Amino acid sequence: MRANKGLAGLIAGDTAISKVDVSTSSLWYRGYDINELCEKTSFLEVAYLLLNNDLPNIAQLKSFEEFEKENRDIPDILYDLFKSAPKYGHPMDLLNQSVSILGSVDEKNILGTNSQEENLIKSMLLISKMPTIVANSYRLSQGLKAIKPDKNLSYSENFLSMILGKEVKDSLSVKTFDTSMILYAEHGYNASTFSARVTAATLSDLYSSVSTAIGTLKGPLHGGANEQVMYMLKEIGSANRAEKITLEKIRNKEKIMGFGHRLYRTGDSRTGVMKKLGKELATKLGIHIWHDISDIMEKTMIEEKSIYPNLDFPAASAYYLLGIPIELYTPIFAASRVTGWAAHIIEQHNDNKLIRPSCDYIGPSSRNVQPISKREL
């Protein structure tokens, strides 16, 4: 019997962090419905939840927020890296290098020291510093001025302001961005999370495990899909062309980014709230083209293939309306998902078993080595 390609349908472990309920197309973070979390909490509340098993009370949230604000700055060695980076380099590569460097300059990051307490501190440091890395690695590599983090702003206000190079005061923009961070924070044993757990299972440190996950997330079949969605929408360019081009892609058996999901078959539970906020933003700005194209593509894909959009589809147009450079969509995803990665790394370290699956060999049977003079070209 051949192995399941992509490990589809195989159970690789247990987790108490999140649940994707396929029967109801719903997502739960530690028992809380994702849509209720989006309605009633902030991203940092959700980050606390993922790391600490439950939502914070007022005092716990205040302490968590203060830690995040006080640790947003990054070492000068990273700014030197950003300045020397080529403009054509992908921001995910700079993010990956930066996380590794943070691990090397952390005096307490000694190999083998993976206690829950130490891992929690490392996790909180990455949550605090990754927005500064994402924003300024891009800005400096593009010849723009670095923006220092502002301790007077909330997490999402600060992150979005650093990216755009100006303070963002619009509440809808901040809410849209913060909600996207909640939605991207965690999603079970996805590819990047599983790769992080594989690295953690060797008893490597949290920084190295996150670096592994970043490399996995970079791929267009995972985190990179949100970038490809926006490039696709721009290529279509007009609602009049949306149905025709979607049908052509279907006929040509092209992969249409932002549609389909390994787990969800009747719709991604995360898309509704993101689509709603994106359309509210579009109405406020008077820019409807991207949602007009998206609505036609969604209708066509459901009618023709019964395939529904995933979170990357509405997030791409929302980020574009916020003025975020397309190259930063996936690094922003990483800055959110680091919360889920960290929770899984902690869970792995707390009950560890080396992850080392077997494989079936399907290559040639026994062969004799011929002298090089007798080997055919």
Amino acid in position 204: S
- Here the tokens at position 191 are 């590819």
H or E stretch at 18? strand 18-21
> Buried b / exposed e across 8-35, counting CB within 10 Å, b at 16+?
eeeeeeebebbebeeeebebbbbebebb
Contact yes or no for 172/317 (Cβ under 8 A): no
- CA–CA separation, 281 vs 173, rounded Å? 7
Assess whether 291 carries a catalytic annotation. no
Q: How far apart are CA 354 and CA 200, in angstroms?
A: 9
Nearest 5°: CA angle at 240, between 237 and 243?
95
Which of 291, 312, 344, 349 is the catalytic position?
A: 312
The active-site residue out of 187, 222, 261, 344 is: 261
- Check if the beta carbon of residue 258 is closer than 8 Å to that of residue 313: yes
Name the amino acid, one letter, at 301. M
Q: Which residues contact 308 (CB under 8 A, 6 or more apart)?
A: 259, 260, 261, 264, 266, 267, 268, 271, 298, 301, 302
CA atoms within 13 A on the CB side of 170: 15
CA–CA separation, 98 and 141 (whole Å): 14
- Residue recorded with tokens 């898309």: 271
> Active-site residue 261, yes or no?
yes
CA–CA separation, 252 and 239 (whole Å): 20
Could you give the CA distance from residue 159 to residue 177 in angstroms, rounded to a whole number?
Answer: 9
Contact assessment for residue 334 and residue 214, using Cβ atoms and an 8 Å cutoff: yes
Looking at residue 326, the DSSP 8-state letter turns out to be: G
Measured from the Cβ of residue 370, the count of other Cβ atoms closer than 10 Å reads 9
Q: Which positions are annotated as active-site residues?
A: 261, 312
